[in-house]
Amino acid sequence: MDIQIIDNYLDQKYFDEIANTFVSDSFPWFIGKGVSNDHDGQRQFFHYLYRDNAPNSNYFALLHPMLDKMNVASVIRMKANLVPKTNKIIKHDFHRDQNFKCKIAVFYLNTNNGYTHFKNGKTVKSVANRMAIFDSDLWHGGTTCTDAHERIVLNINYVEKIALK
């Protein structure tokens, strides 16, 4: 599978509820040791919503309708990433989220000039309410942005439900 891009993924009211939650001044962000890995010298803010086979945040419940729409059988990991604005766009290293076969979804919470870049040369621009879905064997990385206060995405690693015929 290549990269599937779906614009206006959620209805506007539900999208606004999610986006406003993550930009709220009361939303708890944590600082990470790195972006692509713990030793890359970069920094980002994160919030784990689901990890270690269980919800890790009270905010996880807000995302249940989105997960239902995505046809998720099982969440492996879900986190929000926030990278602050920089003076020039910084590309983060390529990485794979998992070392086994699953789906990766990147959901963009704001529009900015940052993007997700792939080792195969493709890019996906950060557009609010856009969903990019791809297989976990695709090497990818994110960037910073220069035209918004921050770049915010949800990163969802999951197993898709199998359709029976």
Confidence of residue 1 (pLDDT cuts 50, 70, 90): low
- Spans of all domains in the chain: 4-160
CATH number of this structure's domain 4-160, picked from the four choices 3.40.50.970, 1.10.287.130, 2.60.120.620, 2.40.30.10: 2.60.120.620
Overall average pLDDT of the 20-32 stretch: 93
Cα distance between residue 154 and residue 66, in whole Å: 11
Q: Contact, 154 vs 78, CB < 8 A?
A: yes
Higher pLDDT, 133 or 34: 133
In this structure, what token pair is assigned to residue 121?
A: 């040369």
The pTM of this model reads 0.93
Cα distance between residue 3 and residue 104, in whole Å: 10
Overall average pLDDT of the 29-49 stretch: 77
pLDDT at 68 over 70: yes
